[in-house]
Structure 1
């Protein structure tokens, strides 16, 4: 095994089953992460264990049952396929392991398997195109917590983000082109997972860069890791690749939790406003997700479609994520090999 490189690919996670106890277990682990809900531990514990997990688990379990397939959770199915595909693409000089930040297969299990192979280098690839403390940052923290306990620490490299990688932009754009070429769409919505506004301002180490406004109009040294700025840049790159006209698209944010302000505009508000303004046919992208999951298949594809039609819209179409496509594996291969330099 001398000279081989370990590759840990990591996605967010999924319950083991769509049953209430497993969904509750998943929600508790996920939401108790201090990078996800960044409030004092005692307050977070009370909020999650006494309010959110008990009351939200039954509702979430119903949605997960809609999403579930005979083979299990789509997110895990795609992850397992990616593990096999990437291993084949990289060849015998690499060992690829799949992990989830929350639940199974765990990061700890994946790293332990790599540790026992005597590898000299480990490359960690979080499956999050845009960096955020609550996603990529959390993966980093967990990996370092585990490896920090090892007596022998191998060379460790992380893929920080890839939203601006040409192959990422082309792959997502190509997924949407087949709809744009066949359908007469009035508008394109680029919907990203939301985050609390406070997490944007907390991430501003200068204390005066983040204004939650035009500060995200370009990418520069002081906002290169800003999630909001990265999302807007992703949209700009996709718009350029697709050749969309100004006034025919927008960026919005979904999946907010609680009453405090999250990044705006909110996708559900945008959906209603577009329909009420007379927009009839919308193509929806979710470029924060590389694998279709609850937030894309259910929230964007179904819930927003129903909302759009209820307010006068006629057709709402989700562009599928990269999933287990050849362009995604090609991109992953590049991301890994770029870390070898």
Structure 2
């Protein structure tokens, strides 16, 4: 019966990674990534000059050294875990589904990933940007690119997008399970939930009825007016995780990392928060990065190593990074549940 109806296409999309940690590949990746108008949302000329005359030439060699620390025998964790999850999910879903993996920037490209589904003549496509919280620069950019590619197809199947999945129970359960092993081993003084930052202007541009004021009050609850506010979604993710882990409100902090440039980004900034924790007698800290579903530069290196160094220099005693979901079975089960909810039966 299912085969007569045609196969369903599942497109998994992550941000992307350089093809190698060599400077030339890192520079190519940075150029494609940062030239995206949703990532650096300034004039086209200003963006071109900033990326090609300043960021790419000077940042690429430094970033390449950091990527070399991240690189494993199988390559970039973000890529090989994506490939593993794609295979695991395909096995779980069976022959009536075609699962394809694409990266918003670099390889495997979204064009090639969509061509796989097109060649199988799927009659519907569910696009899952693998970002738990919606942001214009991540999920929005993926949706934008998929529509740009498919608009030129002669036969366009039904296409549906998953805008976020931060409140999927299995997503929360999976991240909680990974952190629980550390909580059982040690009595931590505090838990830090660190998320990738975005410029404040991007929050304000997308605000409904000017609701988002970028303060604790407007992010204290999650509802219709702030459901697409990235900052509000991060606070909601933290509340759900804390509840699952039985962590009281006073024992965790939400903060934002990886800011770029001089414009204000959403706060509080993770590096500032870290310096204050030991002064508050919070010297054993468990660090989560719930904006990332796979180990990458921002988790393994930034949170796992650079923030640990800042914390210890400030008087901290023990810093423990919670790994990303990677190929955790509950993460695959979560994707299967999302697909069940969003495809025809």
TM range (shorter): over 0.9
**TM-score w.r.t. structure 2 length?**
0.97
2:28 is equivalent to residue 28 of structure 1: no
1:183-194 → structure 2 map (5 Å cutoff): 183-194=186-197
Q: Structure 2 residue aligned with 1:61, among 60, 64, 87?
A: 64
Deviation at 1:276, TM superposition (A): 2.8
Q: How does 1:109-148 map to 2 (within 5 A)?
A: 109-148=112-151
Say if 2:7 is the partner of 1:4.
yes
- Cα shift at 1:279: 1.6
Instruction: Determine the structure 1 residue equivalent to 2:204.
Output: 201
Q: Does the 8 Å CA contact 1:120/1:154 hold for their aligned counterparts?
A: yes
Instruction: Identify which of 94, 98, 118 aligns with 1:95.
Output: 98
Q: Retained in 2: the 8 A contact 1:136–1:160?
A: yes
Contact 1:278–1:312 under 8 Å retained in 2: no
Asked whether the 8 Å contact 1:132–1:227 carries over to 2, the reply is yes
SS in 2 for 1:8: strand
In structure 2, stretches of 5+ residues that fail to align are none
Q: 1:85 aligns with which of 88, 91, 112?
A: 88
Q: Name the structure 2 match of 1:105.
A: 108
2:74 matched residue in structure 1: 71
Q: How big is the alpha-carbon RMSD for the aligned residues of Structure 1 and Structure 2?
A: 0.9
1:27 aligned counterpart, secondary structure: helix
2:18 maps to what in 1?
Answer: 15
- Alignment partner of 1:218 is 2:221: yes
CA-to-partner distance for each residue in 1:268-323, whole Å, 9 max, x for gaps? 00111102333210000000001011100000000011111111101000011110
Greater shift in the superposed pair: 278-287 or 42-51: 278-287
Confirm or deny that 1:38 pairs with 2:33.
no
User: CA offset at residue 239 of structure 1?
Assistant: 1.1
CA drift of 1:216 comes to 1.2
Q: Among residues 239, 242, 246, which one is paired with 1:239 in the alignment?
A: 242
Match 1:175 to one of 152, 174, 178: 178
Report how far residue 246 of structure 1 moved. Answer: 2.7
Q: Partner of 2:323 in structure 1? A: 320
Please show how residues 265-284 of structure 1 align to structure 2 within 5 Å.
265-284=268-287
CA distance in 1, matches of 2:32, 2:320: 33
Q: Secondary structure at the match of 2:128?
A: strand
Distance in 2 between residues matched to 1:330 and 1:337, nearest whole Å? 10
Aligned partner of 1:164 in structure 2 is 167
**Secondary structure, counterpart of 1:225 in structure 2:** coil
Residue of structure 2 in register with 1:227 after alignment: 230
Superposed displacement of residue 258, structure 1: 0.6
Corresponding residue for residue 48 of structure 1: 51
Per the TM alignment, residue 119 of structure 1 is displaced from its structure 2 partner at its CA by: 1.1
Using the size of structure 1 for normalisation, the TM-score is 0.98
Shift of 1:205: 3.8
Residue correspondences, number: 340
CA distance in 2, matches of 1:321, 1:11: 14
CA contact (8 A) 1:82 1:324 kept: yes
Please list every run of at least 4 consecutive aligned residues from structure 1 whose deviation after the TM superposition is greater than 6 angstroms: none
1:54-96 deviations in whole A, cap 9, x for unaligned? 0000000000000001111111010110110010011111000
